[in-house]
Structure 1
């Protein structure tokens, strides 16, 4: 999808044709849209296609007529009825007359710019626009990191009495997400360092505070991702042991039950044996109340064995 915007009288408005100082937003673009933008702006088609590869690395490329900045942004993917988080590339291309953003999907990072809710946003101010996108990107990372932290707390409550692998696998999935976040944030940090020394981008004094905020937010996101990653790793190991202990408790109960039931089984098996005539039979077999006595003895012996096993150190 190709959408074009331009700041007119302080308001962000959507336009139909590219103009000087406009913003061209390509979200999940078609080949026709990419070809048209390439012809209109003179940008190499390969550079426009670069962020459509989800394995594309963050970098800054300086060409003769334009500068391309690729950063990783967070995104949400629904799998199995749950939201999972990953990172995808976003390309920001600056030319003399316009700024172009390219992404493989419609990202919420850019929605506030389209809606005009970002304070001080102006399509003519390219350097500030880049910094505002990077700041918005860092805040999105922080937002998703807090959501991941809350998800891990919910999983912790479920894992306290769980004997299934589902919750642990979800913890491992969150840990993998944090690794992706950390790697992407560190790559973005390198891109920011290059931007501060890039002579083609004009550095305005009023944007210095914004640049400091961007770097601070990105570093905070890196620290949070590292902390949450360490916590999840320890939590996964701890609850893997808890699941194993819960399973051992179940096996302990089943062992006690099986040993207890083996007592009456043994007694009734012996009384079920056939004896030759003239030989002394089993005790109480010739008594009318012998059957009830044998059952009583079996129950008493089973109760004694159960009491002993439940208090034995071997089964604690």
Structure 2
């Protein structure tokens, strides 16, 4: 899918139909569009494929008629059972009169509805892409933190693996995010070192410095959250095990209490019981049987409780 945009008063706006703007975006390009980009625009075919590969690292390359930049950004998060946050790649190709953007699937590239950002040149559009990617990472990290807190509260009473699986999915996502933000950080430093070659002006250099600081913060947060989840994994697994052990303990107590009662009810259901209580009115006989069952069950419960209390005192 092809769309083009222009900068109007500092804002990114769609171009009228049939008009080409300085920002040309190809989302999930067709084979025909790929051939056009390679044959007519002079984009290296390997670089084009790399721009659509989610496993590609961030980098900048200089060609004879354009500058190729590959950066990392998070994919749109969809709430499902996996709790997976994924990363994708974007290719930005800077020509003298336009910037061509490649992405594997349609995703927002600019922050609409906000105050105009700095960078109203072709080089500035690249910085806008990096700025939006960094803010997108920060937003997802906040979501991951909130989900992690929610999972932690659920694990306190959980006896299944569902919460633990979600936690491990978050940890896996944070690993990808940390790798992506680290790669973007190296890219930002490379762009700063080659600022004169790329053509950044003084205002765009300040913008680049701000993005570098925010991306570094994003990288640090991803590392901190990943470290916290890793450090708490064993503790949370133990919590689930303890919860399950507690439930098994109560089931064992119930089983112990009802075991002698089962023997008594078995005896009460036999014909011998009727013979033994032949001279007693049957409501009285069976009422006495129920009373004996209650007494035996209560005494058994007290004995089990006392044994549990003594064992707890010894462990202390």
- The one of 136, 141, 162 equivalent to 2:158 is 162
1:221 & 1:10 partners in 2: Cα distance?
Answer: 26
Report the Cα offset of residue 127 of structure 1.
2.5
Cα offsets for 1:116-166 (capped at 9, x unmatched): 9533342xx233222222122111111111111112222223222222222
Aligned with residue 195 of structure 1, among 188, 191, 195: 191
- Name the CA distance, whole Å, in 1 between partners of 2:235 and 2:116: 44
Number of aligned residue pairs: 305
In 2, Cα distance between equivalents of 1:186 and 1:255: 52
Q: Residues 236 and 131 of structure 1: is their aligned pair in 2 closer, same or farther, counting only changes over 3 Å? A: same
1:147-190 deviations in Å (ceiling 9; x for gaps): 11112222223222222222221111111111110011111111
1:94 aligns with 2:99: no
Partner SS for 1:97 = coil
Please tell me whether the aligned partners of residues 285 and 291 of structure 1 are also in contact (alpha carbons under 8 angstroms).
no
Deviation of 1:6 after TM superposition, in Å, equals 2.9
Q: Counterpart of 1:14?
A: 15
User: TM-score normalised to the size of structure 2?
Assistant: 0.84
The secondary structure found in structure 2 opposite 1:5 is strand
**Deviation at 1:222?**
1.0
Q: 2:211 and 2:240 mapped to 1: Cα distance?
A: 42
- Corresponding residue number in structure 2 for 1:229: 226
Alpha-carbon spacing, 1:18–1:84, altered in 2? closer, same or farther (3 Å): same
SS class of match (2:75): strand
Partner of 1:248: 245
Q: Distance in 2 between matches of 1:82 and 1:244?
A: 22
2:148 equivalent in structure 1: 152
Query: Bigger CA drift: 230-239 or 9-18?
Result: 9-18
Whole-angstrom distance in 1 between the partners of 2:170 and 2:213: 24
Does structure 1 conserve the Cα–Cα contact (< 8 Å) formed by 2:110 and 2:128?
Answer: no
Change (3 A) 1:305 1:237: same
Question: Quick one: structure 1 residues 95 and 313, their matched pair in 2 at CA, closer, same or farther if it must change by over 3 Å?
Answer: same
Larger displacement relative to structure 2 (217-226 or 294-303): 294-303
Matches within 5 A, 1:65-76: 65-76=65-76
Q: Is the 8 A contact 1:162 1:243 kept in 2?
A: yes
SS at match of 2:118: coil
Equivalent residue, structure 1, for 2:298 = 303
* DSSP 3-state at the match of 1:247: helix
Structure showing the higher strand proportion among its residues = 1
User: 1: distance between equivalents of 2:264 and 2:190?
Assistant: 84
C-alpha separation in 1, matches of 2:176 and 2:148? 17
CA contact (8 A) 1:74 1:140 kept: yes
Conserved? CA contact 2:6–2:14, under 8 Å? yes
User: What secondary structure is seen at the aligned counterpart in 1 of 2:85?
Assistant: strand
User: Normalising by structure 1, what TM-score?
Assistant: 0.84
Cα contact 1:87–1:181 (8 A) shared by 2: yes
Kindly indicate whether the alpha-carbon contact (under 8 Å) linking 2:82 and 2:169 is maintained by their aligned counterparts in 1: no
Alignment partners' CA distance in 2, 1:126 and 1:303? 83
Task: Please state whether the residue corresponding to 1:78 is helix, strand or coil.
Answer: coil
CA deviations 1:263-311 (Å, max 9, x no partner) are 1223455677899xxxxx9995565265544443332122111112123
* SS of residue paired to 1:76: coil
Deviation string 1:208-227 (CA, Å, 9 cap, x unpaired) is: 32121111101100111112
Written as runs of structure 1 = structure 2, the 5 A alignment for 1:167-186 is 167-186=163-182
1:116/1:79 Cα in 2 relative to 1: closer, same or farther (>3 Å)?
Answer: closer
Residues 259/151 of structure 1: CA separation in 2 closer, same or farther (3 Å cut): same
